[in-house]
């Protein structure tokens, strides 16, 4: 009964977010005093050849639409690839690049990224946009390529790690193999999208509320609350009814499918992107090139994960979590409130998964099945590290992330098969060392 | 609202093609889970094995090995190629797949098998999708043109309508063959369970250590069960591909596995006829809901804003997920199951 109710609540929350079209416009109440300032959208269409020469795309038609989909104006890029369209006022605009007018030697880097949506133009701003063109520069130097892939892999591994700590701790404390954990990742990404893009800057009119950082904070709080609610109203009840672990596992699969298709139902199948940090010019860090957001993601998730590690190691709550994960009965008999520990594992694990979802949405895109795709990688990481151990999840996920990127190092390896490499690794680990790298043998029973 | 059409769809779900495909897959899953206690979440991969076994032999290999100018000039007739394809799809591919899934995991606890079977199913689907092997697997478009031999055998007029006007000729032939296969499969399943071999499977399900203590090689028995159940799944998948005249990777996503699971748990795992009843009821409910919603949207009973045409297709998945969760939580023994014998217990 509670299950239905809870899922209903979740559905209506999501429904609230996505039932209005993804377009929100300031009602012009702050536009009156800055009417003279000339807002515009523009940019420079250029790419760089492997030799480092700049190539500009000339004669490309750029069309700007307002939030209601009406054309505002268009421009054609000049010999240096520059273009600019004057706007009637501040607001949210979309920019469409007319692919037919692109010169053949500079195609779009990502096919389908010919439209930037939800560009927020503030009063008086000459907003710049960036359409990545040309082939992504593949360095001819193999060492550099290797380093680049390793850094990408570390980034992915950190995100997987952040998502999978909860998975591993929930397994450790309750024995539940939670197949719905991936949906918590998607929940994070989509909730942040709704706060950030669908209702930008409309939250209590407080400045700064339209930034992605604010959206992420809201998301983390909501995800923690959702994790608490899931435990309180679904999993705790199932545990108290004495449901078997297999039954609970099947319940989690059913919930995962149900929630995933609610996402699809409300969010549609296409990929979305956050408005902030959507496209950034890459920084040249001497040897490798990184977008600032990637650097931020790596630094941020490392900090969070070190924090989680310290909390598990040093704080009372963290020690209690590890104790319960290690041996529930022993922990209970030594006076630890096991139900309270499980509650906090759910809250923290869900919040971390949602945070990972926002970061994953930032590096790739936001779509309805991102969590499920990540779930299998999380399982690979957690199994590699040892199911049920917190540090194992960290360690294994990092290896999986790096492995996924590096497997594409030999150029003959088809990049669409990267995840197959990780899943294949999962199978092989179970063949060779089923308890994982940090697990103890008795765990596999 | 055309209630007649809705009723017809419900009836068709109860006994039609999907009942056949998923009934067969559920019979296989019943052998895995119901009788042996194997938590197989990769039944979709076995279905894909059946579909692709036939499609690869007939569509990809037949023109290449029978080519007058190519390397091989075997000149095997179309009918024989179809037979070879059925053999590969029903026997060879499922055995290879079962070994691939079973060897790393059958010695481990149930939840590891669950994770690996899902992973293997995804590996196979993604590999089939990859453009790298387009010539062999047809990538995301899949393979077609392998079902003609099957339909050539049909005694029915392709244009005519049969069985209370429910099916056109070819469909009716497929469904008839499916019913026959289902009946034989259920009979085999019934005989197996009464045999000494089947009793060992049940013993493993109830207490693997005890079975081992009595000198039974549990690993080997579990592998045999995985293969046999996989074969039933492969037959279901092959008939499904013949029905669509298409073997396509995205017809075998992991969600397909869970339709089979719902059918099995709904009927009651561990009962011979449960998969058939479960699959029939499940598809009557899903197709009925689908038809009802489509009618309602088309006649503006439900407004477009609330539910669009494409969204109707997603309702079936939500319903399936919800059914799975609720069944597992509140009635794990299904309609017919016996709570003492079979209640999604730990093994």
> pLDDT tens-digit profile of A388-443?
677 788 888 999 999 998 888 877 777 778 888 888 888 888 878 877 777 666 54
* B105 at interface of A, judged by CB pairs closer than 8 A: yes
In B, which residues are within 8 Å of A235 by CB distance?
A: none
Task: Please tell me the distance from the alpha carbon of residue A249 to that of residue A232, in angstroms, as a whole number.
Answer: 17
Structure tokens given for A295: 């650097």
Task: Please tell me the distance from the alpha carbon of residue B334 to that of residue B328, in angstroms, as a whole number.
Answer: 9
Which residue carries 């669950």 as its tokens? B114
In B, which residues are within 8 Å of A264 by CB distance?
A: 314, 317
In which residue ranges of chain A is pLDDT below 50? 1, 3, 5-6, 9-36, 443-445
Q: What is the pLDDT of residue B247?
A: 92
In which residue ranges of chain B is pLDDT below 50? 346-347
Q: Distance (Å) from the C-alpha of residue A380 to the closest C-alpha of chain B?
A: 9
The answer to whether the beta carbons of residues B201 and B33 sit under 8 Å apart is no
Task: Please tell me the distance from the alpha carbon of residue A402 to that of residue A312, in angstroms, as a whole number.
Answer: 25
Q: What is the pLDDT of residue A437?
A: 75
The answer to whether the beta carbons of residues A119 and A92 sit under 8 Å apart is yes
* B322 at interface of A, judged by CB pairs closer than 8 A: yes
Which residue carries 């929930």 as its tokens? A170
Structure tokens given for B312: 């109707």
In A, which residues are within 8 Å of B32 by CB distance?
A: none
In B, which residues are within 8 Å of A424 by CB distance?
A: 123
For chain A, positions 177-216, list CB contacts with chain B under 8 A. 177
Task: Select from B102, B119, B120 the residue whose CB has the most chain A CBs within 10 Å, as the one to mutate to test that interface.
Answer: B119
Residues 6+ apart with CB under 8 A from A38: A86, A124, A126
Residues 6+ apart with CB under 8 A from A357: A163, A184, A185, A186, A187, A188, A189, A190, A192, A219, A370, A371
Q: What is the pLDDT of residue A95?
A: 84
Cα–Cα separations (whole angstroms), residue A113 to A149, A279, A407: 23, 11, 26
* A393 at interface of B, judged by CB pairs closer than 8 A: no
* A416 at interface of B, judged by CB pairs closer than 8 A: yes
Task: Please tell me the distance from the alpha carbon of residue A416 to that of residue A420, in angstroms, as a whole number.
Answer: 8
Q: What is the pLDDT of residue A17?
A: 39
Q: What is the pLDDT of residue A341?
A: 92
Instruction: Tell me which residue of A42, A332, A377, A270 sits closest to B115, measured CA to CA.
Output: A377
For chain A, positions 97-156, list CB contacts with chain B under 8 A. none
Q: What is the pLDDT of residue B297?
A: 85
The answer to whether the beta carbons of residues A275 and A118 sit under 8 Å apart is yes
In B, which residues are within 8 Å of A445 by CB distance?
A: 108-109
Asked if A420 lies within 8 A of B311 by C-beta distance, the reply is: no
Q: Distance (Å) from the C-alpha of residue A400 to the closest C-alpha of chain B?
A: 14
In B, which residues are within 8 Å of A420 by CB distance?
A: 122-123, 126-127
The answer to whether the beta carbons of residues A259 and A7 sit under 8 Å apart is yes
* B109 at interface of A, judged by CB pairs closer than 8 A: yes
Of A253, A376, A444, the CB nearest to B119: A376
Count residue pairs from A and B with Cβ separation < 8 A.
148
The 10 Å Cβ neighbour count of residue B39 is: 23
Q: Provide the sign of the torsion angle of the four alpha carbons A370, A160, B140, B22, taken in this order.
A: negative
* B33 at interface of A, judged by CB pairs closer than 8 A: no
Q: Distance (Å) from the C-alpha of residue B11 to the closest C-alpha of chain A?
A: 25
DSSP state of A438: S
A14 in helix, strand or coil? Answer: helix
* A35 at interface of B, judged by CB pairs closer than 8 A: no
* B304 at interface of A, judged by CB pairs closer than 8 A: no
CA A178 distance to own-chain centroid? 19
Q: What is the pLDDT of residue B50?
A: 95
pLDDT digits (tens, 9 = 90+) for A312-332: 889 998 899 888 888 888 998
Q: What is the pLDDT of residue A24?
A: 36
């Amino acid at each position: 009964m509670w299950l239905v109710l809870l899922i209903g609540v979740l559905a209506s929350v999501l429904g609230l977010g996505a039932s209005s079209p993804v377009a929100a416009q300031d009602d012009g109440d702050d536009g009156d005093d800055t009417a003279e300032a000339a807002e515009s959208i523009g940019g420079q269409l250029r790419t760089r050849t492997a030799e480092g020469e700049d190539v500009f795309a000339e004669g490309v038609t750029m069309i700007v639409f307002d939030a209601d989909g009406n054309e505002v104006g268009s421009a054609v890029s000049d010999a240096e690839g520059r273009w600019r369209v004057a706007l009637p006022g501040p607001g949210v605009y979309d920019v469409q690049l007319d692919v037919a007018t692109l010169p053949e030697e500079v195609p779009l880097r990502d096919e389908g990224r010919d439209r930037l949506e939800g560009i927020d133009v503030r009063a008086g701003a000459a907003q710049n946009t960036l359409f990545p063109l040309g082939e992504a520069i593949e360095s001819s130097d193999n060492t550099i390529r290797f380093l680049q892939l390793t850094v990408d892999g570390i980034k992915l591994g950190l995100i997987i790690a952040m998502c999978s700590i909860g998975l591993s701790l929930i397994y450790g404390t309750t024995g539940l193999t939670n197949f719905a954990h991936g949906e918590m990742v998607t929940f994070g990404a989509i909730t942040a999208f709704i706060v950030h893009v669908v209702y930008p800057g409309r939250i209590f009119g407080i400045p700064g509320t339209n930034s992605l950082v604010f959206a992420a904070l809201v998301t983390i709080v909501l995800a923690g609350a959702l994790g608490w609610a899931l435990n309180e109203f679904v999993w705790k009840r199932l545990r108290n009814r004495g449901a078997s672990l297999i039954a609970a596992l099947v319940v989690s699969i059913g919930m995962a499918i149900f929630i995933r298709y609610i996402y699809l139902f409300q969010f549609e199948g296409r990929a979305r992107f956050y408005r902030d940090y959507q496209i950034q010019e890459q920084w040249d860090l001497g040897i490798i090139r990184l977008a600032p957001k990637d650097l931020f993601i790596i630094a941020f998730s490392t900090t969070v994960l070190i924090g989680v590690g310290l909390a598990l190691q040093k704080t009372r709550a963290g020690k209690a979590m590890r104790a319960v994960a290690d041996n529930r009965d022993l922990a209970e008999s030594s006076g630890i409130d096991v139900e309270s520990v499980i509650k906090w594992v759910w809250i923290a694990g869900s919040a971390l998964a949602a945070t990972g979802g926002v970061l994953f949405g930032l590096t790739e895109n936001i779509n309805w099945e991102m969590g499920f795709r990540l779930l299998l990688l999380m399982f690979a990481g957690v199994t590699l590290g040892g199911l049920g151990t917190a540090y194992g999840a960290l360690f294994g996920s990092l290896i999986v992330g790096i492995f996924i990127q590096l497997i594409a190092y030999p150029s003959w390896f088809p990049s669409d098969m990267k995840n197959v490499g990780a899943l294949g690794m999962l199978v092989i680990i179970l063949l060779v060392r089923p308890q994982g790298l940090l697990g103890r043998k008795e765990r596999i029973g | 609202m055309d209630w007649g059409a809705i009723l017809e769809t419900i009836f068709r779900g109860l006994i039609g093609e999907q009942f056949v495909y998923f009934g067969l897959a559920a019979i296989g899953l019943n052998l895995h889970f119901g009788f042996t206690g194997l938590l197989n979440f990769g039944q979709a991969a076995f279905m894909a094995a059946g579909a692709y076994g036939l499609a690869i032999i007939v569509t990809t290999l037949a023109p290449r090995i029978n080519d007058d100018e190519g390397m091989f000039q075997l000149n095997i007739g179309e009918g024989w190629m179809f037979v070879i394809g059925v053999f590969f799809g029903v026997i060879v591919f499922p055995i290879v797949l079962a070994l691939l899934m079973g060897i790393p995991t059958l010695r481990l606890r149930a939840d590891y098998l669950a994770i690996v079977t899902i992973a293997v199913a995804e590996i196979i689907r993604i590999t089939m999708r990859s453009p790298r092997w387009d010539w062999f697997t047809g990538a995301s478009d899949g393979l077609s043109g392998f079902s003609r031999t099957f339909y050539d055998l049909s005694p029915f007029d392709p244009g005519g309508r049969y069985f209370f006007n429910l099916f056109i000729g070819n469909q009716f032939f497929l469904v008839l063959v499916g019913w026959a296969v289902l009946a034989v499969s259920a009979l085999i399943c019934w005989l197996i369970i009464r045999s000494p071999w089947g009793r060992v499977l049940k013993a493993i399900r109830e207490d693997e250590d005890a079975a081992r203590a009595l000198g039974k090689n549990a690993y080997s028995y579990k592998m045999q069960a995985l293969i046999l159940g996989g074969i039933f799944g492969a037959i279901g998948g092959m008939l499904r591909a013949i029905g669509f005249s298409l073997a396509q990777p995205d017809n075998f996503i992991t969600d397909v596995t869970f339709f089979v699971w719902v059918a099995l748990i709904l009927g009651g795992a561990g009962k011979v006829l449960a998969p058939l009843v479960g699959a029939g009821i499940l598809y009557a409910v899903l197709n009925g809901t689908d038809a009802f919603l489509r009618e309602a949207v088309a006649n503006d009973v439900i407004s477009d804003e609330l539910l669009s045409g494409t969204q109707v297709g997603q309702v079936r998945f939500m319903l399936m997920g919800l059914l799975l969760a609720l069944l597992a939580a509140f009635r794990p023994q299904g309609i017919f199951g016996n709570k003492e014998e079979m209640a999604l217990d730990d093994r």
